[in-house]
Amino acid sequence: MNKGWVEPEKYNEICKLIPIVAVDVAVFHGDRLLLLKRQMPPIQDTWCLPGGGIRLGENPYMTASRELEEETGIKTLNFVQVGSAVTYLFDFKQNVGLGMITKVDNPTEVIMDGEHSDYGWFNIFDLPEPIDEQMMAQIKSCICAYHEKGWMLDA
């Protein structure tokens, strides 16, 4: 068993009692943002940022690195935490998502895991639909932070 991994039945019981802290990772290349199309609940069939729950012993940066590699195959340790925390309310749980941003020099082919059915590098001014309302709030916060860092000018 992986450190910090909880069996699905136990995880569902925990989710009924307390919010889960997660990270949402916005990966940029110039004015392009990487989004994944989720193929399982919650927010099934919507576009979202890579990310997931913080495991025991991890900090948000470690989680961002692990989740990004697991969900996309992209390896990086260069993250900036955004000053946003978005609360996602689902039928069976509540997540608090911490925004993280990173950039890549070249948009690479994404190696998806089983959680997603598609991906794309989208212009930040022309994002696809549908995107969950709370996820869109997180995406907007990440785009603002990315712009404030001046990274858009580097690409």
Two tokens at 117? Answer: 């059915």
Q: What are phi and psi of 136, to 5 degrees?
A: -65, -40
Q: Are 47 and 37 in contact (CB under 8 A)?
A: yes
Note the pLDDT tens digit of each residue in 42-52. 889 999 999 99
Distance of CA 88 to the CA centre of its chain: 12
Strands annotated E in 16-77: 20-29, 32-38, 47-48, 51-53
CATH for 8-149, among 3.90.79.10, 3.40.50.300, 3.90.420.10, 3.40.50.450? 3.90.79.10
Which residues in the chain land under pLDDT 70?
1-4, 152-155
Q: pLDDT value at position 107?
A: 83
pTM recorded for the entire structure = 0.90
Q: pLDDT value at position 3?
A: 62
Q: pLDDT value at position 2?
A: 59
Q: How far apart are CA 102 and CA 97, in angstroms?
A: 16
Question: Percentage helix, strand, coil, to 5, in the chain?
Answer: 25, 35, 40
Note the pLDDT tens digit of each residue in 68-100. 999 999 999 899 999 778 888 877 788 899 999
Q: pLDDT value at position 1?
A: 45
